[in-house]
Amino acid sequence: MAKVIGVMGESGSGKTTAMRNLPAPETFYLDCDKKGLNWKGWRNQYQDIMKKGEDPGKGYYLCSDAFATVASALRHINDDERYRRIKYVVIDTLNGLMVAEEMKILAMQSGDKRSAWSDLAQNGWSIINQALELRENLTVIILCHSETISDDNGIIRTRIKTNGRKLEKLVLESKMTTVVWAVRQDGKYKFILSADGSTCKVPLGAFDRDECENDIMIVVKALEEY
Q: Give residue-wise pLDDT tens across range 32-42.
A: 999 999 999 99
Q: What's the mean per-residue pLDDT of the chain?
A: 91
pLDDT, average across residues 142-171: 78
Query: DSSP string of 63-120?
Result: E---HHHHHHHHHHHHH-GGGTT--EEEEE-HHHHHHHHHHHHHT-SSS-HHHHHHHH
- Residue 74 has phi, psi (to 5 degrees) of -65, -40
Confidence tier at 168 by pLDDT (50, 70, 90): low
Domains of the chain: 3-225 (3.40.50)
pLDDT reported for residue 58: 97
Q: Give residue-wise pLDDT tens across range 82-92.
A: 999 999 999 99
Distance CA 124, CA 130 (A): 10
> What element of type H or E holds 221?
helix 216-225
Q: Give residue-wise pLDDT tens across range 10-40.
A: 999 999 999 999 999 999 999 999 999 999 9
Q: Is the pLDDT of residue 113 over 90?
A: no
Which residue from 30, 1, 13, 9 is spatially nearest to 179, judged by alpha carbons? 9
Burial of 107 (0-12, 13-18, 19+ CB in 10 A): exposed
Higher pLDDT, residue 166 or 137: 137
CB 93 within 8 A of CB 146: no
